[in-house]
Amino acid sequence: MTSLSVVILSTVLLLAMVLNLALKPSFSARLTTICMIIAFIGGVIIYGVGFAESTSDIGLSMIRTPFCVIKMFVGINDYASIAGTSPVSTSSGIIVFWIIHLLAFYSMASAAMFTLGEEALRYLRMFLAAKGDLTLIYGINDRSISFGKQCREAGTGSVVFIAENADHAALADINNMGMSAVIGPSAVASDKSVMRSLRIGRRKINVFAMDEEDSDLYYALGLKDALKAADVSPENTAITLPGAEDIITSMLQVSADQYGYGYVDVYDKAMLSARALIRTCPPWDLMRFGSDGRALDDFDCAVVGFGRHGQAVLKQLIMNGQFAGSTFHAAVFSPNFENEAGYMKAECSSLFENYDIESFTADGRSIEFYDYVDRHIGTLKLIAICTGSEESDREISDNLMMYLKRRNAQQICVARCGEEGVRYQETVGSPIITTEINSLDYLSAQKADHDAIIINSTYDNSDRTDWEKWVACDSFSKMSSRASADFMPAFIRAAGLSADDVLAGNWPPAPEVLEVLGETEHLRWNAFHFVMGYSPMSTEEFDRRAEIYRKCVSKGLPGIRLSKDAENRTHACLIPWDELDDLSERENSVTGRKVDYKQYDINNVLTIPKVLKQRATDEK
């Protein structure tokens, strides 16, 4: 090989390296493929015609041509064998000859470099992923990769994807974004070899199950067993996955009886979108409050569409639209309401008995809907559009916004709730405020539980830490504490203060205001239980349970809980605020304890500074 050939081939190698680094993997792969195809076709033509002319033997030419074409891709030419033939008889032909050989060598060098470089990068990423906090994302798809990028940019530690298989382009994107992936059945099964390669140790581990093949729970259960075998502390683990909250949480959450993840956030996309609505357009921000903390307005809202999203939105509005001094009213518009509402009415019958929920078999484009808006234009606070169709939601929202503008009623909040989150415009023509639910802010189990753990501790007067109290409480109580945490900003707003005011020491408010806020908390607590399918406990049932309690105590057995029957979902506290003192006295007369149900509600309000201070400390 001449020195000129060495220089040329070295230049081509360098070019291949530079292009593979500079170009996107998908584009680099396409360029390599195109060069390879051009080189192959050009080589077959040049050598095929050249050998046919120089030997006059078609059979021999057919044998020699493939070998010469193959040698092109490793930087070897056979120019001498076809010199003088028509393909290389002119200057242009010779230039084409060398261009074809350069393309062949470049395509092979690029392909080799791309494969070797990607493999080396993968091992490097895995090596770097052995340090700091670990984020595991199960499933490789557009949604999970986008989420992984958010985790990477947020600095949550090393990000590793787990999947049974993945296409080349997705893996290249993951590598190029500074993340890594472990692929194969052993990765999905959380085998010991995989756990060793991840260097689990004492690291904090955040798991996000985002597979699109409904295998998230199986992976979560398998990983839970692997973490237990590796003696990982539950307090260092958190998992987020889709599913039925009360069922799956009890299977995965650590408790006094089982090993599990320390933090578990099980979400339904519709419910997550509904919670995003509450954060984007908080009902308390649409209300006026007096100096005593009482609401000066009723909370009047409408829900357009009553599929999964519509029902989730109604539940969230009921739980977060209760204020002392105010009444709640909701109107639901859906052409198929009766068929859609069957499960909700059967499961949460007390919800429809205790709240003013009006239904209309019409959609948001009907004259019936606009007639209703006209009649309530002075009282409506919020209209949530959630038909399940993004196109329909946009059409209804755009038309409604224009209609309200012409009637000078733009104080009514109009929001679209869908699969990806919430879209909201303050006024016609203003920028659209978008709340994406596929984000770390909404899917982090630790963030979801942070405030709830502190609130839960107010119900337990033992010497245990807040974390130990959280582990000891049941799945339903954890959900209740999360709902309470979501409502916490309402108390600050009703008191006419800000979070900064609270942190500055301006809490609790005056006793008469604190009493009103306790009443508001009781209304919220009632709403949560009605949404969860609870009904009020009758006086007869309470007396029957009191008798059972006395018999248990007389035999030296632990007494049952008087006020709550979790199995039949009844609760004696589902009564007006003014009746709580009588209930406390009745229960204390049976148990000899000092239960004060009003104070329990007030204690939640008093917890606000502790929550805010801990949050500020953790965010530093």
Of the given ranges (82-86, 513-517, 527-531), which has the lowest mean pLDDT?
82-86
Query: DSSP per residue over 69-100, as a string?
Result: HHHHTTT---HHHHTTSGGGSSHHHHHHHHHH
**pLDDT at position 599 over 80:** yes
Q: In angstroms, what CA-CA distances link 532 with 54, 356, 371, 467, 475? A: 88, 17, 33, 25, 13
Q: What is the pLDDT of residue 40?
A: 84
Helices in 190-282 by DSSP H: which ranges? Answer: 192-197, 216-229, 245-252, 269-280
| 550 alpha carbon, distance to own chain's centre | 47
Rounded average pLDDT over 284-307: 97
Cα dihedral: 103, 105, 107, 112 (round 10): -170
One-letter amino acid at 314 equals L
Residue 112's pLDDT band (cuts 50, 70, 90): low
Q: Provide the whole-model pTM.
A: 0.78
Question: What are residue 538's DSSP bridge partners?
Answer: none
Higher pLDDT, 225 or 132: 225
Q: In angstroms, what CA-CA distances link 97 with 13, 14, 87? A: 19, 21, 8
One-letter amino acid at 586 equals R
For the chain, first and last CA: distance in Å?
A: 64
Mean pLDDT of the chain: 87
| 559 alpha carbon, distance to own chain's centre | 41
Residue 131's pLDDT band (cuts 50, 70, 90): low
- The span from the CA of 35 to the CA of 18, in Å, is 16
Q: What is the pLDDT of residue 132?
A: 74
Question: What are residue 300's DSSP bridge partners?
Answer: 329, 380
pLDDT in tens, 16-42: 444 444 445 556 667 778 878 888 888
pLDDT in tens, 213-224: 789 999 999 999
Of the given ranges (55-69, 266-280, 570-584), which has the lowest mean pLDDT?
55-69
Q: What is the pLDDT of residue 88?
A: 85
**Residues 180 and 126 sit within 8 Å (Cβ to Cβ):** yes
Higher pLDDT, 167 or 373: 373
Higher pLDDT, 112 or 280: 280
Q: Which domains does the chain have, with CATH numbers?
A: 3-116 (no CATH), 129-267 (3.40.50.720), 273-438 (3.40.50), 444-619 (no CATH)
**pLDDT at position 47 over 90:** no
Q: What is the pLDDT of residue 488?
A: 96
**pLDDT at position 244 over 80:** no
Most confident range (mean pLDDT) of 29-43, 200-214, 476-490 is 476-490
Rounded average pLDDT over 560-589: 95
Q: What is the pLDDT of residue 412?
A: 93
Cα dihedral: 103, 108, 111, 114 (round 10): -90
